[in-house]
């Protein structure tokens, strides 16, 4: 197979499902590691069935590959599975890449590894990660293998768009419960990344020239944060979410959420500053996700309305 070749893990997932078509449309040879859903192969598109938690199935997976995009992860409460996939699986994958002589590895992680916040204009390296869930702890632990191999790790915060089963559904649960107003007037500043822009970033990083290759940790976020109030307003306008009027204290909102049977952790996600500066990625690579929230929600509105109806 002539031309560049990219191995993608998680290629049928939320982010990977947008990356693979972009790579294929660019004429790139794609090898996809598939776990459960195995799509049909095609021209310059090879599908290999395997499991990150089973190193035997990864044997030779990186042979004749120029770049590895590691987009797969386990997100859930099973700590043993988190370690098996996110830590040991990443270790096995990186070992295979090294054996095959692949020196370009780009991993999808999450800014949730920093913990609950507040974070306001935070740059890479300014805060020591303090993950609060087994998923975040294991994803942080897995990063060290990619970084140790000279790879790059991208950390978005909240990613939304077609295929999102978590961010906007969680926001909808929260605004339905907050009848007395948004906590602290909805002033919390948040980094929200549209999935198409994130997929384009991974694609560009996979195909960039050696002179533009980047290593280390990078925040993958738009240049400007949005406030919780702006987020609720945009979700109301484009998705039909309830529009919450007024404001209340953080603790009052917590009591209201608990009283409505919702997890109060929603406040830690949406009502505390989580604004991450992505200047480093733009400076080093010349590109980072930059679509604004109104345009991003508008692009995915039909899908969200159908899924959340």
- Domain edges within the chain: 5-308
47 phi/psi in degrees, rounded to 5: -115, 125
Is residue 134 very low, low, confident or very high in pLDDT (cuts 50, 70, 90)? very high
CATH architecture, range 5-308: 3-Layer(aba) Sandwich (3.40)
Q: Residue 245's pLDDT is what?
A: 86
Please determine, for residue 41, whether its predicted confidence score (pLDDT) is greater than 80: no
How close are the terminal C-alpha atoms of the chain, in Å? 45
Please determine, for residue 295, whether its predicted confidence score (pLDDT) is greater than 70: yes
Burial label, 297 (beta-carbon count in 10 A; 0-12, 13-18, 19+): buried
Structure-token match 């480093």, residue found: 280
Q: Residue 4's pLDDT is what?
A: 85
Joined tokens for residue 106:
């780009």
* 248-278 per-position pLDDT tens digit: 999 999 999 999 999 999 999 999 999 999 9
Nearest one of 123, 287, 140, 124 to 216, comparing CA atoms: 124
The residues with which 119 forms a beta bridge, in sequence order, are 274
Q: Which residues contact 295 (CB under 8 A, 6 or more apart)?
A: none
In the chain, beta strands by DSSP E: 5-9, 29-34, 45-49, 67-70, 105-108, 119-122, 152-155, 158-160, 182-183, 189-190, 192-194, 216-219, 226-227, 247-248, 274-276
Q: Residue 115's pLDDT is what?
A: 94
Question: Per-residue b/e over 113-128, b at no fewer than 16 CB within 10 Å?
Answer: bbbebebeebebeeee
């Amino acid at each position: 197979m002539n031309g560049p070749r990219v191995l993608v893990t998680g290629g049928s997932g939320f982010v990977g499902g947008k990356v693979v078509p972009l790579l294929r449309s660019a004429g790139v040879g794609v090898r996809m590691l598939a776990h459960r859903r195995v799509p049909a192969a095609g021209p310059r598109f090879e599908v290999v069935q395997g499991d990150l938690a089973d190193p035997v199935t990864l044997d030779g997976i990186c042979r004749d590959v120029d770049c590895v995009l590691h987009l797969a992860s386990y997100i859930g409460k099973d700590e043993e599975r988190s370690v098996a996939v996110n830590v040991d699986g990443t270790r096995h994958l990186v070992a295979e890449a090294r054996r095959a002589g692949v020196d370009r590895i780009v991993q999808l992680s999450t800014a949730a590894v920093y913990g609950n916040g507040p974070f306001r204009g935070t740059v890479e390296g300014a805060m020591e990660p303090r993950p609060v869930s087994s998923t975040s702890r294991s994803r942080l632990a897995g990063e060290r293998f990619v970084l140790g191999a000279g790879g790059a790790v991208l950390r978005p915060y909240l990613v939304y768009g077609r295929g999102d089963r978590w961010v906007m559904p969680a926001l909808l649960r929260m605004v339905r419960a907050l009848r007395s107003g948004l906590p602290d007037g909805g002033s919390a500043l948040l980094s929200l990344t549209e999935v198409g822009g994130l997929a384009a970033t991974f694609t560009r990083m996979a195909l960039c020239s050696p002179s533009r290759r980047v290593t280390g940790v990078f925040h993958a976020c738009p240049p400007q944060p949005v406030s919780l109030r702006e987020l609720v307003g945009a979700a109301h306008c484009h998705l039909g979410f309830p529009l919450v009027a007024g404001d209340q204290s953080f603790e009052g909102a917590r009591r209201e959420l608990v009283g409505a049977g919702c997890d109060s952790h929603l406040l830690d996600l949406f009502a505390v500053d989580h604004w991450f500066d992505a200047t480093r990625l733009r400076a080093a690579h010349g590109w980072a996700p930059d679509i604004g929230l109104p345009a991003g929600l508008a692009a995915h509105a039909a899908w969200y309305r159908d899924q959340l109806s």
